Amino acid sequence: MSPLQLCLVLSSLLFCVGLAGALARSNTILVLLGIELMLNAANLNFIAFWRYGPQPAAGLGVIFVLFAIAVAAAEAAVGLALVIAIHRHRKTVRLQDSTALKG
């Protein structure tokens, strides 16, 4: 197996772990954690494709990943703020209880 393939398998595993966490857990914070894991799996793919791609010299992949991490951080902050606000109102962080946005 080449290093690239190894990296891809790792990121797939990481993604699956994140997905399972996001789907299985009912605590919103843990769901957010799962989502972060999935994001980081994607980031790992970026890095891998960059490092083993045709132009490893240009810093393109790192910039992508840094952007994604910054955006994810902002997202996490917003998500956590939302969770806190919901908790303040509803006294719960169970994701199943927050269904007000249904059609």
Partner 1 sequence: MTLAVQHLWLIPALPLAAAAVGALAPRSGRTLAAGAAIGAMAGSFILACLALAGALADPAAHQVFNFAWFDLGFGALRLGFLLDPLTAFMCVMVAFVSLLIFIFSTGYMKEDANYKQFFCFLSLFAAAMLGLVVANSLLLLFVCWELVGLASYLLIGFWFHKPSAAAAAKKAFITTRIGDLGFLLGLLWLQDNQGTLLFYDGGAGFLEAAALANLSHLLPCGLAVSTAIGLLIFCGAVGKSGQFPLHVWLPDAMEGPTPVSALIHAATMVAAGVFLIARVYPLMTADQALANVPVHALTVVAFIGAFTALLGALIAVAQNDIKRILAFSTVSQLGYMMLALGVGSWVAAIFHLLTHAFFKALLFLGAGSVIHAAHHEQDIRALGGLSKKMKVTYLTFALGTMALVGVPLLFSGFWSKEAILHAAHGWRVSHLPFYAAVLGVVLTAFYNTRLMAETFFGSPRSENAAHARENGPAMTLPLVILAACAVLLSLVNLPSYPWLAAKLLGEQEVRGHPIFEGAGLMGLSVVLVALGVGLGWALYGRSLRANSAAKDPLAVRAPGVIAALANRLGFDELYAATVGRLNAALATLADVLDRFVWGGAVDFLAALGQFTGLVTRETDERTLNGGFDTTSDKLRGAGQAYSQAQTGEAHGYLRTLALGFVILLLLVVLGGAR
Does position 57 interact with partner 1 (CB under 8 A)? The reply is no
CA distance linking residue 42 with residue 50, whole number of Å = 12
Percent helix, strand, coil in the chain (nearest 5)?
A: 80, 0, 20
Residue numbers 60-99 binding partner 1 by CB under 8 A: 95-96, 98-99
Among 8, 14, 31, 83, binds partner 1 (CB under 8 A): 31
Point out which residues pair with 27 in neighbouring strands: 94
Q: Of 88, 89, 91, 102, which one interacts with partner 1 (CB under 8 A)?
A: 102
Residue 73: which residues within 8 A CB-CB, separation 6 or more?
A: none
Which CB sits closer to partner 1, 27 or 73? 27
Q: Which residues bind partner 1 (CB under 8 A)?
A: 19, 22-23, 26, 31, 95-96, 98-103
